[in-house]
Structure 1
Amino acid sequence: MLDPWPNRSLGWQVGEWCEGNLLVPEGPRYNEPWEFTEEQMHFLVRWYEVDALGDFVWRRGVLRRAKGWGKDPVAAAIVLAELLGPVRYAGNGTHTGVPKGRQEHAPRIDIVGVNEDSTQNTTTLFDPMLSPAAAAEHRWYAREKIFRAYPNGLKSEIRPVTASHRGREGARRTFYVIGETHQMVKGNGGIRMDEVVSRNLAKRVGGQARALAITNAHDPTEESVAERDYDSHVEQNKAEYKGVRDILYDSLEAEIDDSFDFDDDDQVKAALKQAYGDSYWVPLDRILKTIRDPKTSVGEAHRFYFNRIVAGVSSWMDPETWDKAYDPRKLPKKKTPIALGFDGSRRRDATGIVATDMDTGFQWVAGVWEKDWLDPEWEVSEEQVNHTMDELFADYKVIRAYFDPPFWEAAVREWIGKWPGVAAAYYTAGSNNLKIARALAAYHDAISTRACTHGGRSGEVFRRHVLAAVTREVGGRAGEEESLVTIWKKSKDSRESIDLGMAGMISWQARLDAITAGWRARKKFRVVPNPEWDD
């Protein structure tokens, strides 16, 4: 269902200009007059909403839709309107009070993408989209790297730019389209490019420069620009938010609950109809065949075709592999040599301690504190954590203990001072991705071969944390066919914790490092009775 239409908007006039000057750029209706669907027009009218002073309500827009919905043609239509159409406030109608639009003076527009291919999704539509009459009127000039026109004799231009952010710092632009923001991540320069765009918008005199991002649903494990936009939108819509709500986030996704059967074609097609709305040109039967292709993962189907934000990556641990490593043995006796691993949060997640028997590789949960989601004031008890740590060091012979410091920096410093030479910080975040990926690969291999086993009273909690972890590739190889990965929650807001999985890896690595440093398993002696002892 569409949100209410705004009362004051330039969108109606912009839409009228588009439908009078643009053509359908591709498909069965190629070269016919452009027409917005109701959904597309609704977005256009909301995007050009103005307040009583004529200022735009929205500073940044996000148009998130399923693949094939028509994001690029809509963005191309908006760009051409920004170049040539009535997109700036010019007062109200004398009798109607309806906002009127005018052309921007000498507009400068950037089409931003992670690479040239992504910018061409939009830029290749300009030529076939602009009608011959409009092109002649405005002296349209198109080349591969630049598009120019001369409305009212003023040079105006569109440029495609890629994520070489340093070259765009300080550019004064009137409008940006940022394409495929779900692909823009730190590794390809996308995050920094988006930050440059935000800074450049603030420099434009008049404060009317804006950016429109077009995207598929993002993978919540990739920390993309699309995820940042979504998080900002969620933050702005919280009741306690005190700032300006200036992000228009427009998304239509399939409504799927726990009863949804992904293997039922009828249910899948019903979900597709929801996600694609009034995009009558989308061949849903063909989309269904693509979803059924073995190369299409469930996560990809949900993100690209149902427009739902889900992890599109693999689970880190196969349930069968984990279950085969279960060991029903009792916990080791006191004074047994062990290694410890600690990973935790304070308020937003779980905190856990995993112990590993140095002799056997057997692991168990030595302590776990999981968030109470019904208590908004919940926080891990540091006193309980300290007490558990003291008991472990008193009851066992701790050979090595590693602690991941974030949120526990002061406590970790205290533990290191309390048990010098044994306790150490073990960072899993920041620039340590490759180190952690290799440690996770070693831990996974140990579980797969049952060199590392697990058990104990909190075994079900341990299992739940490990199986909730999803992977993210970091480069490099874990074997002939496997890439190095780190593990993450399915999304930042997921209530499924993975802290015990990380603590298990840290504990295992502490054991391996102790062995590398020279620790050796205890020799087991068999006592042979001596006849002379009877004397």
Structure 2
Amino acid sequence: MPWKPQHPDDFPTLGWGVLDWWADLFPSPRDPAEPFVLTDSQARGVLEWFRLDPLTGRRVYRRGYSRRSKGRGKSPIEAGKAVAEFAGPVRFGGWDAAGQPVGVPWGGPGDPLPWVQVAAVSEGQTDNTWSVVYYFLTENDGELAEALRVDAGLTRCFLRDKPGAKLEPVTASAGSREGQPITYGVLDETHLWTPRNGGVKLARTIRRNVAKMGGASFETTNSFIPGEGSVAEGSHRSVQAGAAGVYVDDREAPREVGGVPVTLDAPDGVLRAALAEAYEDAWWVDLDRLVQEIRDPETKWRDSERFFFNWNTKGGGLAVDGEQWAKLADPGRVVAGAERVGLGFDGSISDDTTGLVGCTADGFLWVAGCWERPRFDDGRPDRGWTVPRLEVGSSVRSAFSAWTVGRMFGDPPRWATELESWAAEFGDETVLAFDTNQRSRFARAVDRFLTAVRSGTLSHADDERLTGHVLAAALEKVRSAADEADGRTMYVLVKPEDGRKIDLAVAAVLAYEAAMTMPVVEPVEFFVY
């Protein structure tokens, strides 16, 4: 019997059966004494995900992803779907007498056994979904596990009546997963899955594995960082390109409310209204509390954009807020020759800027030298220009002559010879190489610099060249899988997507690090006998 619509907007879906199954058997993640019941907007997403072709009964979507604001409730739904794919009514079993689809579990006659994997690039990330899976199965003295005849373990679950069926968390390399007969894959926190940590390769492996079994995969993600090449970004591109069989759930907050742009300067009512659009009917989210968090000076606006308003923004955000930087300007200050200073040097050969920045012991920054590729009158860059190394060397010597240099840090790539000569001339304990490609070391210096900017303990000469580079600099995590909400996550400076130069910003970080770590000179005491 073919499918029979029950109203004009009806479509065939196994979602109704899944929702009823959850409500009948599963405990609420918030109160185990209550049933697992979704809000209307969440339920609509489940109905769409399990949509069927009205003629063949085949699932419409082969993969999907949910990019929603932090705290909206992605993990409990995906945990419920993982258990459903393991032991629930997610396979099309035909049409009933009323022309409605019937759902059956995997593992029936002629059907593969269920093999469900909850995957992430680190063990801590699998806990987002896997901990809820384990909760569902073991809460209330394991009522759900007993009802489904599941042997529930911390690292793997089995079906007693279907030997070989598995539900497990995985974090192993993509190579070890190739070819596994997976029927469903959960890809957790895919904004953190990048080429660098193997996440992109792992995602592709899981998708190939479920494809050959006729299964599906689903991602949970927060807003991704454009240009980082994450799995979440790739899925977004697939949807934009019109790839068939990809389901997307990515509601964002509006960029303006009532004609007022949603910015940090907007009234509380505008921020709250925008958040209400993003969170929809997530009644457990205190929107007023989120507004307070957004207003907290310790909360970066770019973090609020990504995690609360669900907007895709560059990097860990731009490194420095323009308004904050402007407040730190002190254009009238003159650095006396007697002052002890630190110097920071970032050199290039031709394309990037070569910069020398000074910094006093109390954190005042100025540009001591800057060399950039010149342009012709028509705006074309002079491709034949190279950095005048002798002139750069002369400026370094002039800096040592003009001020009392306590320490100089220089980024050595392509300038190692010059750094060695300056160290020989001014002392190898004064002129030191600081390789910014050593990301952990550079991240600590960046953190010191940004802390000074945000706390207002740093100042600068209001040089438009330095300002341009500082305000262009974006942040990139040292470890791609690190949680951006974790205050311990470390960042380095990187160029923005538009390719603007940041070399003077790097030199400023090195200068500030040099000034803050240069040896303390003890005052000389004179005694009269």
TM-score normalised to the size of structure 2? 0.63
* Other-structure match for 2:522: none
Looking at structure 1, the residues matched to 299 and 510 of structure 2 have their Cα atoms a distance apart, in angstroms, of: 36
Q: Which of the residues 91, 115, 119 maps onto 1:108? A: 115
1:129-528 aligned within 5 A:
135-150=145-160, 153=162, 156-162=165-171, 168-184=177-193, 191-193=197-199, 195-204=201-210, 206-218=212-224, 223=228, 228-238=230-240, 241=241, 244-257=243-256, 259-262=261-264, 264-292=267-295, 295-310=298-313, 312=316, 315-316=319-320, 319-320=325-326, 323-324=329-330, 341-342=347-348, 352-354=352-354, 362-364=368-370, 366-367=372-373, 384-389=381-386, 433=439, 460=464, 463-472=467-476, 474=478, 485-489=491-495, 495=498, 497-499=500-502, 501=504
Answer yes or no: is the 8 Å Cα contact 2:92–2:103 preserved in 1. yes
Note if contact 1:10-1:99 (Cα within 8 Å) is conserved in structure 2. yes
**CA distance in structure 1 between the partners assigned to 2:62 and 2:12 by the alignment:** 14
Change (3 A) 1:504 1:237: farther
1:38-57 equivalent positions in 2, closer than 5 A: 38-51=40-53, 54-57=57-60
- Tell me which amino acid in the other structure corresponds to 1:141: D
Q: CA deviation at 1:298?
A: 3.2
Which consecutive unaligned segments of at least 5 residues does structure 2 have? 1-7, 108-112, 335-344, 359-365, 397-409, 415-420, 422-432, 454-458, 480-487, 512-529
Opposite residue 256 of structure 1, the aligned amino acid is: R
Give the Cα separation in 2 of the matches to 1:74 and 1:313. 29
1:374-430 alpha-carbon deviations (Å, 9 max, x no partner): xxxxxx95xx3314549x689999999x9999xxxxxx9xxxxxxxx9xxxx9x99x
C-alpha deviations, 1:485-506, integer Å up to 9, x for none?
A: 52135xx65x583445468679
Say which SS state the counterpart of residue 302 (structure 1) adopts. Answer: helix
Task: Note the C-alpha offset of 1:250.
Answer: 1.3
Quote how far apart the aligned CAs of 1:212 are. Answer: 1.6
Measured in 1, the distance between the counterparts of 2:447 and 2:302 equals 23
Return the offset for 1:272: 2.3
Judging changes above 3 Å, is the alpha-carbon distance between structure 1 residues 119 and 260 closer, same or farther for their aligned structure 2 residues? closer
1:127 paired residue among 116, 120, 137: 137
Q: Secondary structure at the match of 1:386?
A: coil
TM-score by length of 1: 0.62
Displacement of 1:319 in angstroms is 1.8
Q: 1:505 to 1:156 in 2, by over 3 A?
A: same
1:409 alignment counterpart = none
Given the superposition, is the C-alpha separation of residues 7 and 444 from structure 1 closer, same or farther in structure 2, using an over 3 Å criterion?
Answer: closer
1:25 is aligned to 2:31: no
Q: Distance in 1 between matches of 2:308 and 2:254?
A: 12
Instruction: Please give the per-residue CA displacement for 1:424-448, whole angstroms capped at 9, x wherever unaligned.
Output: xx9x99x653576689799999x9x
Query: Is 2:71 the counterpart of 1:68?
Result: yes
Residue 403 to residue 386, structure 1, CA distance change in 2 (3 Å): farther
1:80 corresponds, among 80, 83, 86, to 83
- Any conservation in 2 of the 1:119–1:161 contact (CA below 8 Å)? no
Question: Percent identity, aligned pairs only?
Answer: 22
SS at match of 2:372: strand
**Contact 1:354–1:503 (CA under 8 A) maintained in structure 2:** no
Letter in 2 for 1:85: G
* Residue equivalent to 2:18: 15
Give deviations 1:195-220, integer Å, cap 9, x for gaps. 23431431357442322222233456
Unaligned runs of 5+ in 1: 329-338, 345-350, 370-379, 406-411, 413-420, 476-481, 509-535
Secondary structure at the counterpart of residue 159 of structure 1: strand
CA contact (8 A) 1:342 1:354 kept: yes
Deviation at 1:183, TM superposition (A): 4.7
Q: Distance in 2 between matches of 1:154 and 1:54?
A: 28
Q: Take 1:462 and 1:219, find their aligned partners in 2: how far apart are those partners? A: 26
Aligned equivalents of 1:355, 1:285: Cα separation in 2? 46
The aligned length equals 438
CA contact (8 A) 1:172 1:201 kept: no
**Is the contact between residue 23 and residue 128 of structure 1 (CA under 8 Å) also seen in structure 2?**
no
| Structure-2 separation of matches of 1:363 and 1:293 | 37
- Partners of 1:159 and 1:78 lie apart in 2 by 14
- Residue aligned with 2:158, SS: strand
Q: 1:74 to 1:497 in 2, by over 3 A?
A: same
Specify whether residues 341 and 237 from structure 1 end up closer, same or farther in structure 2 by C-alpha distance, changes over 3 A only. Answer: farther
Amino acid at match of 2:119: V
SS at match of 1:278: coil
Equivalence for 2:36: 34
Kept in 1: contact 2:75–2:128 (CA 8 A): no
Looking at structure 2, the residues matched to 99 and 62 of structure 1 have their Cα atoms a distance apart, in angstroms, of 24
- Kindly provide the CA deviation profile for residues 4-36 of structure 1, in whole angstroms up to 9, marking residues without a partner as x: x997553434434434533342335x4334333
Please state whether the residue corresponding to 1:126 is helix, strand or coil. helix
Distance of 1:365 and 1:67 partners within structure 2: 44
Question: For 2:281 and 2:475, how far apart are their aligned partners in 1?
Answer: 35
Q: Distance in 1 between matches of 2:460 and 2:272?
A: 44
Give 1:324 shift.
3.9
The 3-state SS of whatever aligns with 2:230 is helix
2:407 matched residue in structure 1: none
Question: What letter is aligned with 2:310?
Answer: N
Residues in 2 aligned to 1:34 and 1:439: alpha-carbon distance in whole angstroms: 48
Structure 1 position 79, deviation (Å): 1.4
Amino acid at match of 1:79: A
Counterpart contact for 1:60–1:246, Cα < 8 Å: yes
**1:472 CA displacement:** 3.9
What SS is found at the alignment partner of 1:125?
A: helix
**Paired residues of 1:112 and 1:161 also in contact (CA < 8 A):** yes
1:67-122 Cα shifts (integer Å, max 9, x gaps): 332212211221122122232334566884x6554321221112224225445442
Secondary structure, counterpart of 2:66 in structure 1: strand
